[in-house]
Structure formats: C-alpha cells, structure tokens
Structure 1
Amino acid sequence: MSNLIIICFILLISLFLIYAILPTILIRVTGWGITKMIHSSAIAITFDDGPNPKYTPQLLDLLKKYGIKASFFVVGSKVKAYPDIIKRMSEEGHTIGIHHYNHISSWILSPFQLKKYLDMTEQAIFECTNQKVTFYRPPWGHFNLFSLMLSKRYKVIMWSHIFGDWKVSKGINGLLDQLLQSTEPGSVLLLHDCGETAGADRLAPHYMLKCLEIYLRENANKGTKFITLKEVNF
C-alpha cells in the first residue's frame, strides 16, 4: 500500500511538472509566444491585479497629472465590480488587457477553465469599453501546457522590470531606488495597483503611488517618453 502511495505521488508530481512547471520555464527562457517591444525609444508602464476602488482612481489621477498613458492587466471579476473605473481607463487612453477572471495561476487551471477565464474577462472588458482586447498577461507569469494555444488571439506581454511592490516591506526607499534606475528605452515596467491578491499587502499600492509620482516627476524633467502598449511597435 505504501509503495502504491509513493508511485501515485511521483506520478502526480511528474504530471504537474509536464503540465505547469516545464511549459512556464520553456516559455520564459526562450520567449516563445511572448510579444516584445522592438526598438522602442519609450518606456511602457504596466499595472496588474486591479481595478481597486481606492487605489486605481488615485493612480489614474496621477497618470493624468503627468500626461502618461499606461497599460492595465485587469482581473475580470473586478471589472464587473467596478465598471466605471474601466470606462475611465478607456476614456483616458490607457490600454486594458486580460489578467484572468480571478487571480488564479494557470498552473491549477484546466484548459477549459483557462479558456473560460479568458473569454469571461474579454467580455467584461468589452462591455465597459466597446473595444477589442489585444493583450494578455497571466497572473504571476505562470503558463501551462495549453496556455499559448488558448491565448493565441492575444499578444502575450511579460515585463523587463519587476519590483516586488506588492509587499510593504519593500518600503519607499527600496522601491524608489529600483524605479529610478529603470529608464532604459524599450523597458516594460510592472507595478501593481491592488494589494488584495495572495501574498500581497493591502497597503502596498499606497507606497507604490508615492514612489511612482517621484519617478514620473524626475523623468518628466529629463524628457523621458512613456507610451501605452497600443502605441508600441511589436
């Protein structure tokens, strides 16, 4: 009986490696199926996990203050909960992409569930914006064996800079130092406008916004150009 349990455990681990871990490693290392910016002289700032009723409007106010267009990978269930925020994003010229209907890793989604999440989130965004959805970023950058096949109608976008801004322990100084060093043309910056997902701190967006304002102010003085993903040459 114990040997059978061991065999079943090894089989489950092997299936998980084949279905989830290995595809993620392969895609992330090779860049296979991932869309990248080509020879851009600008920086794309992207935000995951929203919309959040407290922090996302503050973020939109900040971006508007500096005349910056950004890109938001949104959670479909939150789109349904806060449609007015999504409408504002669209009206102010930001790009809106898919980040699953719930913030769940592709590692534990079946092909049917993944397709359903993509379809539901696309529909929720379309109902708010009346615009076709072009971009997709899976939560945590996790893929499974069927991810690229099921998401082939979208441009899959990852990031060149990630800052750990979902944790308060990152603090203002640590996050700001990293942001201020992220000025390379063609960069795709990843930040988070919601602290309600697993492993995140609820107050983390508060610190992110403070750092982002300093970063935008510093780069406005330098003439750094920022663009939304809709403007990118892929």
Structure 2
Amino acid sequence: MFLFLMILFIAFIFYAIIPTLLHRLFSTKSFHDSQNNNAVYLTFDDGPNPLYTPVLLDLLKQYNAKGTFFVLGERAKQFPDLILRMKEDGHTIGIHNNKHTSNWFTDPFTFQNQLNKAVSHVEEITGEKPIYYRPPWGHFNLFSWIAAKKFKIIMWKYAPRDWNVMERKKLTQRLLDNIKKESIILLHDCGETLGADNRAPGVMIEALREMFEMTKDRGLLFKELEENPAGSADDLLNQSTTRF
C-alpha cells in the first residue's frame, strides 16, 4: 500500500507540480507596450456574474478603463448578454476553462473537452474565437502545458487576494501599493468558486472605484490586452502570484 501511494505521489509531481513550477519559473517576462509604458492591465477571473459583472462594467466605462475577462465557459453560456456587453464595451474576453476545476486533477481528454467547450460557448456568443487563456489557480499539468500553447497564456504580476472579504480600505491600499506600470493585476468579478467568498466582488468593485479616483494624477492607462502592439503578444507571459 505504501509503495502504491509513493508511486501515485511521484506521478502527481511529474504530471502536475513540475509543469506548473516550470511555467512559473520560465514565464518571467514583463509585458512591455512600446507605444505606452504607462499601461496597467486589469484582469478579471471566474465570471460572468449577474450581480457583480454589470456593476463592474459600469465602473470601467465611467473611468474609461478597459479590462480583460477570463470567463468560465458554462457561465458564459448562462449569461450571454454579459459576454456581449463585454465585447461591445471594448474589453477582451479570454477563457478560464469551462468549469472552475484545477488542471492538476484533470486527465488529457477532460482538459481538451474543457477548452473546446469554453471556446465554443464564447465563440457562439461573440462570433470570435478567444485567443487568451488563464488556467484556474494558475495550475498546469503535463498535457495542458502543451495543449494550451495554441492560446496566449496570461498569468499575472500581482494578486491582491480579493477573493477573500476584507475591509475595503485594506484592499484599496493593496491596489495602490501594487498598481504599477506594465503590470497585469488579477481580480475576480465572481465569488462562487471554491475558496472564494460570494460577497468579495462587491468589496473589490468599491476598492477599484477608490483606486481609480486616487490614481488620476499618476498618468496610468487601464487597457485591455488586445491594445498591445502587433507582434507583442508573446511578451504577455508573466510571473505569477499563487492563489492559496
């Protein structure tokens, strides 16, 4: 029994842990927009959410900010009007698997099915095939690391842990301390996934509102990823901050 468990553990390390670590070790480029190095890239995972996503979209429009949404395919299918609004408002739509499941525990067939469904759902709504992908929790496996190469894989530079409910002022200060030029910031417009709090996106939105107000004089431009210059997309691989 002990030998069997050891074999499973070693197999898991090679199948899941090592591919994830390798990606994070070697994907350390910072995105540089040669047209404007004042750009900041806000990214939002796990949505869309019928309560919070519309409020977030209103906020981004109010401050003339763009974002990138890594949506779950099943939620895109459930709320197609929100996906259409993202597109109409000029935001970029990427995929985050069909369901919010870790690739560490996904076999190759299931992973490919997850990708295909997510792409299909978004494409049916927008008429465009998404090209950006971010794995849930930043987890890869031996197969997904290779199969996802057909996408532009986007990690993040800073994660303020907004999936937990905290004081709005505390989250605002985290954003202010870490919103830097050419950074990709990880946020969440849905709190219904494992380990998240359903109230957290509301706090995030209000903290984001304060951050927009307090950074008006810093000359930052909040842009979506497709605003990068032609040929620069390969530089979007960023070192990640672990969400645990």
Question: Do they superpose with TM above 0.5?
Answer: yes
Contact 2:30 2:183 in 1 (8 A): no
Among 90, 100, 105, the alignment partner of 2:102 is: 105
AA paired with 2:190?
A: C
Matches of 1:229 and 1:65 in 2, distance apart?
19
Residue of structure 2 in register with 1:48 after alignment: 45
Residue of structure 2 in register with 1:37 after alignment: 31
What aligned pairs does 1:33-112 form with structure 2 within 5 A after superposition? 36-39=30-33, 40-112=37-109
Task: Indicate the RMSD between aligned Cα atoms, in angstroms.
Answer: 1.3
AA paired with 1:94?
A: H
Residue of structure 1 in register with 2:209 after alignment: 213
Offset from partner CA, 1:109-130 (integer Å, 9 cap, x none): 1111111111110111111111
Report the CA distance shift for 1:48/1:35 in structure 2 as closer, same or farther (over 3 A). farther
Contact 1:97 1:136 in 2 (8 A): yes
Return structure 1 stretches of 4+ with deviation > 3 angstroms: none
1:125 is aligned to 2:129: no
1:184 is aligned to 2:159: no
145-154 vs 56-65, greater mean Cα deviation:
145-154
- What is the Cα deviation at residue 41 of structure 1? 2.9
Contact 1:44 1:226 in 2 (8 A): yes
Q: How many residues align?
A: 227
AA paired with 1:195?
A: G
Find the residue that maps to 1:72 and give its secondary structure.
strand
Q: Output the TM-score relative to the length of structure 1.
A: 0.93
AA paired with 1:68?
A: A
127-136 vs 73-82, greater mean Cα deviation:
127-136
1:26 is aligned to 2:25: no
Contact 1:165 1:192 in 2 (8 A): yes
Q: Output the TM-score relative to the length of structure 2.
A: 0.90
- What is the Cα deviation at residue 219 of structure 1? 1.9
Find the residue that maps to 1:43 and give its secondary structure.
strand
